[in-house]
Chain A
Amino acid sequence: MKLLTCPLNGSRNIAEFTYGGEYHATPDHISTSARDWAEHVFFHDNAAGMVTEWWCHTASSFWFLAERNTITDEVIRTFKADEIYTERIDFSAAKTESRS
């Protein structure tokens, strides 16, 4: 059995987790072009080696990040998202003038 350490629930069977994709900084939702959005959504680094990625502990719906080596399949560390997201992201709609 392969184990993964959830920052909230501790060490659990990896079957309890869902892989959530590569971590990328979120583009600015107002100024980003359609082309850049397409790249953000569909394209991946798909790196062979160290990657930072999202995981979710399915049973508790807890999302967190992991650093993993995609060649050796070793998880180096897992951590809570607040290490990266230190401020609230403002998802409010674009101002009227920038929409026109």
Chain B
Amino acid sequence: MPFGLLKYGLSSQYPAKHHFTPSKDLKKHYDVVIIGGGGHGAAIAYNLAKYHGITNVAILEKAYLGGGNTARNTAVIRSNYLTESGVKFYSESVKLYNNLSNEFNYNVMMENRGQLTLAHSDAAIRSFRWRAEVNQHMGVRSELVDRQTISELVPNLNMSEDSRYPILAGLWHADGATARHDAVAWGYAKGACDRGVELHQLTEVEDIEITSGRVTAVKTNRGKVECGCVVQAVAGASSIVAKKAGIPLPIHCYPLQAMVTQPYKPILTPHVSSPQVHVYVHQTSRGEFVIGGGSDPYPLYNTRATLDQRESLSAAAMELFPFLSQARLLRQWAGTTDMTPDYSPIMGLSPVENYYLDAGWGTWGFKATPICGVTMAELVATKKVPEIIRPFELERFYRFEQINEAGATAASH
């Protein structure tokens, strides 16, 4: 065995073949320019190439593939939202996730572990009942569960009636899952590049040229590129990039923080979330406890980690799982989340005819990656807005028709 390993290490076959073709010079013109090489940008390119035969596509990424919020999120996948539009959209995404490893022939480490949201008040129970009804009506597995069932699902949870916010009931979402976030971005990017899409890293879009209501070119730090149309998928930079195209957005950026402990033996299967104490916890397949849920209290374009959040997230996590008081933290980090007033995304057409928006992903956009790829690619290819994303158009704010998912997103995932 050791010799086998040594031989492998010294062989010319190592390191293994690159996932993607390294970036070449930029071409003069692309049919489609995608700004932002996160999971969303890569998924849109993949679907354009594989299902619509559109391959003269460039993904322009200012840093590296999947290094934005795709790298920073806590990978909660679920569809137990409140509105009909939200549930329909996210449940399609969960279905696509379940088949993603097959779709790529590449393991995205999808794990269907279920998700438990905790109610510590009568008001929360009422809203959970409402969500469960909407979810079941739309074919999503969601049910209200009592304390007994909660202790069976999560034996280590603190069910004491003497805690500050005793647990009264829960919303059990058997469809809840998690997947490896990097693998999702890599799988899409590999599939796109294999079919002719160009991924240009270290390529920042600095300006956008608009002529009589149409985008004609983008200027980058590596030169100008003409384009047939543009899809913007830049999450935390949504307002900054859209402004270059003259498009105002209803977005405010807040840092969202999360942290992770050293690894432990597997003792927690589902994802557990509490909107009341404002934390969520799950154990990764490597054994680390991921602890998330803390947005900074005011807008900021900065991904520093703060002591304030470390304290409040730790306190909340220890209330749910007292044994975590012994845990050591390995890392704490933040991502810039593009928050909308109604906690739903902004997708589809913009005031600029051939400029498409995939923005407003806030703290909830990882789970939507596959369905964004499918629907945004369809929009670009057919120029028709798919029904499932129509409710999320930018125009809804001018009609006062918001899609309120604030409650269903209360613990920021």
Contact = CB atoms under 8 A, between A and B. Distances in A.
Interface residues of B, number: 20
Contacts of B398: 34-35, 38-39
Interface in B215-248: 239-240, 248
A93 interface: no
A56 to B, nearest CB: 12
B302 A43 contact: no
Given A35-B398, A38-B398, A46-B239, A19 B298 contact: yes
Contacts of B410: none
Given A19-B297, A48-B240, A72 B397 contact: no
Contact of A46 (B253, B297, B308): B253
B14 interface: no
Given A35-B398, A72-B302, A73-B302, A43 B297 contact: no
Contacts of A71: 301-302
Interface residues of A, number: 20
Contacts of A34: 398
A29 interface: no
A46 to B, nearest CB: 4
B213 interface: no
Contacts of B173: none
Interface of B: 239-240, 248-253, 297-302, 304, 308, 341, 397-398, 400
A73 B300 contact: yes
A46 B337 CA distance: 12
B299 A70 contact: yes
A44 interface: yes
A83 interface: no
A70 B253 CA distance: 10
Contacts of B300: 70, 73
Nearest to B254: A19
Contact of A45 (B239, B297, B298, B304): B239
A68 to B, nearest CB: 8
Given A19-B298, A34-B398, 19 more contacts: A18-B297, A19-B297, A38-B398, A39-B248, A42-B250, A43-B248, A43-B250, A43-B397, A44-B251, A46-B240, A46-B249, A46-B252, A46-B253, A48-B240, A70-B299, A70-B300, A71-B301, A73-B302, A73-B304
Nearest to B301: A48
A38 B297 contact: no
B252 to A, nearest CB: 5
Nearest to A45: B239
Interface in A19-57: 19, 34-35, 38-39, 42-48
